[in-house]
Chain A
Amino acid sequence: MKLIFDKSVPGRCGVMPAKSDVPTSVNLKPELLRNQDAQFPELSELDVVRHFTDLSNKNFGVDTNFYPLGSCTMKYNPKVSELIASDTGFANLHPLLPQLRGGGMLTQGALQVIYETDMQLREITGMAGFTMQPMAGAHGELTGIMIIAAYHRANGNKKTTILVPDTAHGTNPASAAIAGYSVKTVPSNKDGVMDFDALQEMMDDEVAGLMLTCPNTLGLFNPEIKRICDLIHSVDGLVYYDGANLNAVMGKVRPGDIGFDIVHLNLHKTFATPHGGGGPGAGPVGVDEKLLGFLPVSLVVKRDDGTFALEYNREKSIGYIAPFYGNFAIVLRAYAYILMLGKEGCLRVSENAVLNANYIKERLKGHYDLPYRQVCKHECVFSAGNLLTKYGISALDIAKGLIDAGFHPPTMYFPMTVREALMVEPTETESKETLDKFCDAMIDLTEIAKNNPEQLKAAPISTPVGRLDEATAARKPNISYNCPLCG
């Protein structure tokens, strides 16, 4: 393995800069200049292309492998969306143009995309209006919590607590805490969903809101969801819908109709924009009627003459949360995807996502512990607890064994309410053939666990590296190559 820095040959350059056509070169005061050049590698274009092509071959992606990473919705990302996003009419558009006098008319196409996506998302969720600005799901959560705080402040209340379930993604409590709230955790009941009685006991006037993923991270829909919303509302709290799992119920049920006040959607999950190895995503936030005034500036509005404009003068708004209009090129991809799906497509997405998850659950339930046996939604959670007890094989070992079988592993050790958890989310874009191969491999692994556990302990062997020493990595971090200052 060579780093790009190791491949450097002095004198090479991958891009020839354009020749200067201005008469003089400016000599800045020497004290203002850096005293040594930035130590970037020197490579030809081919060197660079080969290096990164090699690196790409050391990755699993949805394009190469089944990727059932629970709660991440790793569905297929249509290629036409990439083509649309790279259209120079969007890619070369400067975000400050609409802030020039008369500049809004220079960007009508882009503003229309934002406006129409807002309309699509309103219809899909039943909310009254959206901001496209949050640049990821967690950023949407923070925006939502800031809206909750602004709402209570406007009512003259200072509430201090945000409630989250014990099955919540870590981003929920983290978002609430960095917005200045204390966080309390609501336990689950024996059916795997929020314990209503426990919630009731936790209610007091300090409760500013509740954050909920629905269906939850076990893939379970809480039949008491309406009662939960009503209970939070009874102390003037707000209910936040973490849309990470919308893929399970799109077209079947709308958070706005249930009574949720705020929603974030992960466009990179439900609406098929590429996950990019960890972003960029987009996390639009929608609110109900009473919270519209608190949405961040700016908002796109449609004027009577049919043109689109940005509205900045919004008195109650929480203010700027992004420099401009969010990750526009991601919103654009999602917009294209929703146009292609249409109303029937939205329904087919959730139906097939749920069918695929239940199919896997059914095929594997005799082979892995299944802590919650009822019908699941878009994902199902198994436990490798029995394998650990009988053969010393953990969820991690199963995950590594799956890699050798050619599959990206499920999410491991989450949610934390399940011991040795393996959380499988197949998504609707996968075929029955793929699911069957995956299930066959999972069943094979239980046989290997029984007959040849050492093989699993040694897995993976088919990848560029074996299991890595994470303890040393964290104890003595090497996180920058030959850093001149680190020595």
Chain B
Amino acid sequence: MPFIANTDQQRQEMLELLNTTMDGLFADIPEELRCGELKLPTGISQQEVQEYIGELAKKNKTELTCFVGGGFYDHYIPAAIGALVSRGEFSTAYTPYQPETSQGTLQAIYEYQSMICRLTEMDVSNASLYDGGTAIYEAVVMALASTKRNKIIIDDSVNPIYRKMLESYTTNLNIELVTTKNNDGMANRDELKAQIDDKTAAVVVQNPNFFGCIDDFTDIAELVHANKGLLIASCYPTALGILKTPGAMGADIVTGEGQCLGLPLSFGGPYLGFMATTKAFMRKIPGRVVGRTKDVHGNDGFVLTLQTREQHIRREKATSNICSNEALCALSALIYMSLMGKEGFKQISQLCADKASYAYKRLRQIEGVTPRFGAQWFYNEFVIDVPGNAAEVVNKLIEKGFAAGFPLSRYYDDMDNSILIAVTEKRTKQQIGMLAEALEAVI
């Protein structure tokens, strides 16, 4: 039997010591509750399972040239990450409840927290959350609790998937969730200003937003602060290699999806939610937090800290129910940022902007293709309008070997002709040229 060490003889010896039988060990389960034999196939060997699932993997079309983003990107992943995170000392450990046996994990989390603070220019970070969407939800809960108010305003230029998640999570809570409609691809200043009031717990915005447009939320931060509310900013870490940080804009809580920091797309997960905040909200942040301290001999060491916020101590009064987070993904992100370093990270960030800018210019040369929005600054993703139905156009491009972009009609009523196109450092000038030719051919 795979993965079970005891031999039949050992089992017998153990049962003899216990003076019972295997059935005896389960005698506390009433007979009428027992199930019969499970209707599963007989177990198969390691070799067979690898072959069988390998065939399933081949049914996935990963060979398409990928221009789909939407918050989840096809970035290059340096080889050292996989080699390091697959070390059993990291991957087969658990939450570092015993600090003396977990200094590796704890120091890594402390370094990760420090790295996230440097990336976002915020004071403190937690040890990770599940993903960028649940991170927004957790930030909203934190804002509701901190301000004791119940109104949340979110602009529809925030990732629509995250907005749908927030709607689900707040259904049973007594809150007013207001969505403002973007103005030509940017967070809608007029509507936001009209909505922010003394009931407002937080305003939620995203930079670059779902359409790839770059914004500066300093004015919104000032406005919401004047009303004693908070600014929650969701952001894209790769972009922060060059873009103005949420910290510099005055955000109170920063969230985002860390998949771009060395994690594979893996059909949706596991990913990495991150969260950072200001010193003022340090004791309100959800999830694990690692702190640096001294041991009995005066040596530096690390521990889980501020634990009284958490479910295992405060139970129904905890700031969040999170227990397992995405520690190994946070480790991947830490190693990614360490490998890239100050210069490399900035260069990758700039490269994504450059390639997107090139693709935008190239695609605009096609007759019938128009930019969706006015003269906005965009990062590595942009929206074009095509003649005819965008979903149809993207469908035709699949046959030509491209995942050409994301048709926006799925989430926006008035965008039947619009495609959201993402370009990462992995896309080449040649691939962009081929996409342009293919697009020209199908429209």
Contacts and interface: CB of A to CB of B under 8 A. Distances in A.
Instruction: Tell me, yes or no, whether A binds B.
Output: yes
Interface in B14-52: 14-15, 17-18, 20, 22, 24-30, 32-35, 37-46, 49-50, 52
B299 A479 contact: no
Contacts of B41: 339, 342-343
A139 B270 CA distance: 13
A341 B64 contact: no
A463 B80 CA distance: 27
Contacts of B125: 479-480
B124 A276 contact: no
Interface in A311-368: 318-330, 332, 335-336, 338-349, 351-352, 354-356, 358-359, 362-363
Contacts of A322: 130-131, 133-134, 165, 268-269
**7 nearest A-B residue pairs (beta carbon):** A89-B57, A342-B43, A63-B88, A324-B268, A276-B328, A319-B168, A280-B270
B295 interface: yes
B354 A149 contact: no
Contact of B268 (A20, A28, A328): A328
A82 interface: yes
B240 A320 contact: no
B231 to A, nearest CB: 16
A318 B282 CA distance: 32
Interface string B307-340: 1101111111110111111111101001101111
Given A25-B350, A328-B268, A478-B293, A466 B100 contact: yes
B210 interface: no
A77 B92 contact: yes
Interface stretch (A95-103, A230-238, A448-456): A95-103
A468 B301 contact: yes
Interface string B81-113: 011101111111111111111111101101101
19 contacts: A32-B214, A33-B243, A59-B93, A82-B86, A84-B49, A87-B53, A106-B61, A126-B35, A174-B316, A174-B321, A318-B168, A323-B271, A327-B270, A328-B266, A339-B53, A342-B44, A345-B1, A375-B28, A470-B293
Nearest to A116: B56
A28 B376 CA distance: 11
A13 B341 contact: yes
Given A89-B62, A323-B161, A136 B323 contact: yes
B428 A21 contact: yes
Contacts of B58: 89, 109
A43 B334 CA distance: 13
Interface residues of B, number: 212
B305 A470 contact: yes
A417 interface: no
B168 A359 contact: no
Contacts of B394: 100-101
B320 to A, nearest CB: 7
A115 to B, nearest CB: 11
Interface string A29-51: 10111110111111101001101
Contacts of B14: 355-356, 359, 432
B377 interface: yes
Contacts of B367: none
B412 interface: no
A339 B299 contact: no
Interface in B182-232: 214, 216
A434 to B, nearest CB: 8
Contact of A60 (B102, B113, B321, B407): B102
Nearest to A348: B1
Nearest to B269: A327
A277 B131 contact: no
